[in-house]
Amino acid sequence: MNCIFCKIVAGEIPSYKVYENEDVIAFLDIAPVSHGHTLVIPKKHFKNMEDITGDELSKLMLGVKAVAALLKNKLGIAGYNLNENNDPVAGQVVPHIHWHIIPRKENDGIELWSGSSYLAGEAEEIINKLVS
């Protein structure tokens, strides 16, 4: 497999490791949105949210929780954003599921997305597709 994250798990590529347990590894993002921006990945390869099993997703999220607390406590950040890009159209660059933990400070200038609104009838159309 030619997955860069699997190579990091195997120790073939160096990383700034923040956290590790038997199921997950966390390391600093090489192109951080903010200082301390960390990626949390399962050690087993899963492409995306649909690919990962429920059991492995639970383990991954427990790792995300532990790392988020570590960042908040040790870096003294006010909060953080959690983000998982699912598939290339959503910005997933590495096809190995991973969560971004982006440390936030007051007035840091980071804007993750802008909101919009539905045109008349659009919300109802979406709801009809989802619940029918």
- List the catalytic residues: 98
Query: Smallest Cα–Cα separation from 97: which of 44, 19, 38, 33?
Result: 44
The pair of structure tokens assigned to 66 is 């532990």
How many angstroms separate the Cα of 14 from the Cα of each of 6, 46, 94? 12, 21, 16
Backbone phi, then psi, for 69, in 5-degree steps?
A: -65, -40
Cβ proximity of 38 and 67 under 8 Å: yes
CB of 49 within 8 A of CB of 55?
A: no
